[in-house]
Structure 1
Amino acid sequence: MEARRITDPRALRALAHPARIQLLELLTVDGPATGRQLADRTGESTASVSYHVAQLVKWDLVEPATELARGRERPWRATGRGITWAGTGSPEFVAAARALRDQMVARHLDELDEYRRAEDTLDPVWREAAWIGYDVGYLTADEVAEATTRIKAVIAEYTGSPRPRQTEARKINFFGYALPARDAAPVSPEV
């Protein structure tokens, strides 16, 4: 399943809501679920989940999984594996992309804080396996694009295709960035 490409700023605005980001992630990572199951996992009411799922359906990010329906249950599934976006560069698109990116970054920073608060309670094997890293170097825009593509490919080997879930497996959050630093003006190399 490929990432859904969003080109409409209204779709970005619709997704830029913490509950919708969480619901889309659950349906993408854990697979189809009913509104009741999603409510149980998120702590939202079923009415709230229903409303937010309807917004995701409107923008073709979620669809009914009718073949899995049992009785009155209506399971939903993600229509893609993650999202990407590209737009015209219009002020509306730029603002919508920023709103979505801000929500996503805030969510990941919250997850990082949560990990830091609970780190001491984790099994030492998981503490050792966890990775928070940092590095810096001088790259061209093409090199950054190449590195990002390679990193995404490695992560996709573990997350992108259906694999049997092992009993000791835990949900793992991957979060990284490759951004020009504030002082990112080109620097001439010393000879």
Structure 2
Amino acid sequence: MSSGQKKQLTDPQALRALAHPIRLKLLELLTVDGPASGRQLADRTGESTASISYHIGQLAKWDLVEPAPELAEGRERPWRATSRGITWSATGDGSPEFVAASRALREQFIAQRLAALDAYQRHQADFDTAWQEAAWVGEDIGYLDPDELVEVTERIKALIGEYTATTRPRTANARRVAFFGYAVPTPDGPS
């Protein structure tokens, strides 16, 4: 896996293939937690191993995951993510097919992130005070031009990337933290 590098998706069929909740979850698990076998992924997701096998095959078809044979133990066949995340264009080649596929993947991605936020809200009391105080949900609004928006989002992604790098050692009290943000022009703003 290339550390820190995001895979650029440019094929609308790849976008459509990834716009599936199980595939997005599998890619997340392999990216964040590292290599795992189909059985391990089935245990973590509650899916059957047959379902996991099918969805891993779809991810492998688009070079999003690959076998990790050097990590195999017995009959277990581990898989790993091929990059440290994905990125894709909103408009790509401008074709209606690409725009629709991009939108479908973005909608599925947003749905999963909102579900994570909702799960935290429902279970907030299960976390100790330090975690409840550390959790952050906020917003801000300002006026930027497209170049400034690109600059600020790149700076935010770089900062988060420093803390989420797979090479960064974990402290004893570390736990999985989901970052989710957006920066979009508002319909009532100037164009």
| TM bracket, shorter-chain basis | over 0.9
Aligned twin of 2:80: 77
After the TM superposition, which residues 107-118 of structure 1 pair with which residues of structure 2 at under 5 Å, given as runs? Answer: 107-118=112-123
Distance in 2 (CA, whole Å) between partners of 1:121 and 1:65 is 36
- Say if 2:30 and 2:81, in contact at 8 Å, map to a contact too: yes
- Say if 2:31 and 2:83, in contact at 8 Å, map to a contact too: yes
Q: 1:121 aligns with which of 118, 122, 126?
A: 126
Q: 1:173 aligns with which of 154, 178, 186?
A: 178
TM-score (norm 2): 0.95
Distance in 2 (CA, whole Å) between partners of 1:161 and 1:121 is 27
Q: 1:67 aligns with which of 66, 70, 90?
A: 70
Distance in 2 (CA, whole Å) between partners of 1:3 and 1:88 is 20
Letter in 2 for 1:114: A
Distance in 2 (CA, whole Å) between partners of 1:107 and 1:161 is 22
Distance in 2 (CA, whole Å) between partners of 1:79 and 1:121 is 34
Distance in 2 (CA, whole Å) between partners of 1:71 and 1:118 is 38
Q: Which runs of 5+ in 2 are unaligned?
A: none
Q: Which runs of 5+ in 1 are unaligned?
A: 187-191
Tell me the number of residue pairs that the alignment of Structure 1 and Structure 2 aligns: 186
Structure having the higher Rg: 1
Distance in 1 (CA, whole Å) between partners of 2:72 and 2:78 is 6
- Residues 36-81 of structure 1: CA distance to partner in whole angstroms, max 9, x if unpaired? 0000000000000000000000000000001111121100000001
After the TM superposition, which residues 96-175 of structure 1 pair with which residues of structure 2 at under 5 Å, given as runs? Answer: 96-175=101-180
Provide the identity percentage.
66
Distance in 2 (CA, whole Å) between partners of 1:8 and 1:163 is 32
- Say if 2:63 and 2:82, in contact at 8 Å, map to a contact too: yes
Letter in 1 for 2:144: L
Q: 1:36 aligns with which of 34, 39, 43?
A: 39
After the TM superposition, which residues 11-26 of structure 1 pair with which residues of structure 2 at under 5 Å, given as runs? Answer: 11-26=14-29
- Residues 70-129 of structure 1: CA distance to partner in whole angstroms, max 9, x if unpaired? 121100000001101132011000000000000000001111111111112210100111
- Say if 2:32 and 2:166, in contact at 8 Å, map to a contact too: no
Distance in 2 (CA, whole Å) between partners of 1:41 and 1:161 is 19
Distance in 1 (CA, whole Å) between partners of 2:31 and 2:166 is 11
Distance in 1 (CA, whole Å) between partners of 2:145 and 2:135 is 29
Query: SS of 1:97's equivalent?
Result: helix
